[in-house]
Amino acid sequence: MNYLSDGLVWLNDPLNWINPGGLLDRLREHLVICAWAVLMGCLVGWPLGIWLGHRGKGGGPVVVLANLTLAIPTLALLTILPLTPLGFGQLPVVVALTVFAVPPLLANAYTGVREVDPGIRDAARGMGLSGGQLLRQVELPLAVPYLAAGLRTAAVQVVATAALAAFVNGGGLGQVISAGFGIGMSNGGGGQIVAGGLVVAALALTVEAVLAGVQWLVTPRGLRTRARPGASTVV
């Protein structure tokens, strides 16, 4: 409890928020990195997942392969990418986070399009819709709840994982925690570590709550009682 109150004291000092490299700076970095990673994840995961689902073949192995990325430690990817031609800075961090955003986006998009009732699909064909029209007018609207669920899982995962970027000086809120460990427990680092932990956890929970609301809004009324497909993972 002592450390917890140290953390609250640290959070109550305005200087810790507005200093260069303070909480506000780190929060902005964190959000920018996450936004790029989720955006790139959507650009890769959604078209691929939707196409595989529409095609109906060959999606299984891709989804399994995407889930295998769970076994790769985030730390490893964050450490390895800067040593490749990507170089240092925020680019490798964004790429690493994109790798973690793609599996839930891909898997949910694939399942969403795949789960469309074959009867509905046949009816649309019978009405003379072409493959492209079927996708745009029938399959995609019905897959929206799944797409939203995938986005939520991916976004929360990215926000949580982005804290690890601090290991390689990639910026973000994890840097506050990492700096705290750098100072050391006995030199007052403990309070800063706890404060950083609280802020990162609060941000993750906020993002989760906001996106859960968005997901509820975009889900058609008739589908709202259904459980959210896909499970979230945090590494």
By the criterion CB under 8 A, which residues form the site for other proteins?
Answer: 3-4, 6, 70-76, 79-80, 82-83, 87-89, 156, 159-161, 163-164, 166-169, 174, 177-178, 180-181, 185, 190, 193-194, 196-198, 200-201, 204-205, 208, 231-235
Provide, rounded to whole angstroms, the least separation between the CB of residue 161 and other proteins. 7
Query: Could you give the 3-state DSSP secondary structure of residue 75?
Result: helix
Instruction: Give the nearer residue to other proteins in terms of CB position, either 135 or 177.
Output: 177
Nearest to 167 by CA among 74, 104, 103: 74
CA distance 135 to 119: 15
Asked whether the beta carbons of 46 and 109 are under 8 A apart, the reply is: yes
Nearest Cα to Cα of residue 78 among 41, 25, 48, 33: 33
Residue 141 CB, shortest distance to other proteins, in Å, is 27
Rounded to the nearest whole angstrom, what is the least distance from the CB of residue 150 to other proteins in the complex? 15
Q: How far is CA 120 from CA 83, 112, 113, 139, in A?
A: 50, 14, 12, 9
The residue (of 138 and 199) whose beta carbon lies closer to other proteins is 199
Residue with tokens 């889930």: 67
Q: Give the shortest CB-124-to-other proteins separation in angstroms.
A: 28
Question: What's the token pair of residue 178?
Answer: 């990492």
Measured from the CB atom, the residue of 7 and 134 that comes closer to other proteins is 7
- CB closer to other proteins, 138 vs 166: 166
